[in-house]
Amino acid sequence: MRSRILFFVLAVALLLGVPRASLAEGNHTCAVTKAPVPPFTPPRRWGTEGSRDGEYFFFGSPGLWALVHNYWRLHLDGTKLPYFSEHYEWKNEPDPRMVVVARRLDAPAGLVWADWVNGAGPSHRYSEPVDPTKPGFMVTSLQIPTAGCWEITARYTPVRGKVEILSYTVLVVP
């Protein structure tokens, strides 16, 4: 009977796209951030759609949004995180005033801070020439030390007196 229940749980997990490693480790209680319905659509001048594909999606508001993948593999060399804002101008702000921190939700752990946030030139598709009039984006990296449920929070201060905050939850698996 017990093996039938385990088989059923694994079958449902595979159908729903939950990583097998999360069930094996008991991390099936992590409430990862899901793609919004309807999808978030960045402001028109970014020329991007509301969702990249089934695994990645845009999440946030025009003031601050991210390209989110809610299931991460543990990479001790860091996971790159792109952020976008209607306030961000890559030519005027090469070093964005942004702080990104991760907090583990399912077990005690220290905070993980991004060492840097870099400004990046205009986003473009590889098949198209770079258009310097298009807006850029901000990018950083987090070195999450252990598998588990982590909340990522970014705080961007485009101008004095204005703060944009974005938080989302990811599951990190070995």
Select the more confidently predicted residue: 62 or 161.
62
Select the more confidently predicted residue: 55 or 24.
55
Q: pTM of the prediction? A: 0.76
For residues 105, 106, 109, 112, the Cα torsion angle rounded to the nearest 10 degrees is: -40
Query: pLDDT above 70 covers what percent of the chain?
Result: 76
Given this model, what pLDDT does residue 33 score?
94
Across 81-89, average pLDDT: 91
Across 47-58, average pLDDT: 64
Using pLDDT thresholds of 50, 70 and 90, give the confidence band for residue 159.
confident
Domain ranges of the chain: 28-173
Q: Which amino acid is at 87?
A: H
Question: Measuring CA to CA, how many Å separate 15 from each of 8, 9, 10, 37, 57?
Answer: 11, 10, 9, 20, 20
Taking 60 as the threshold, does the pLDDT of residue 36 lie above it? yes
Task: Tell me which CATH code domain 28-173 carries.
Answer: 2.60.40.2550
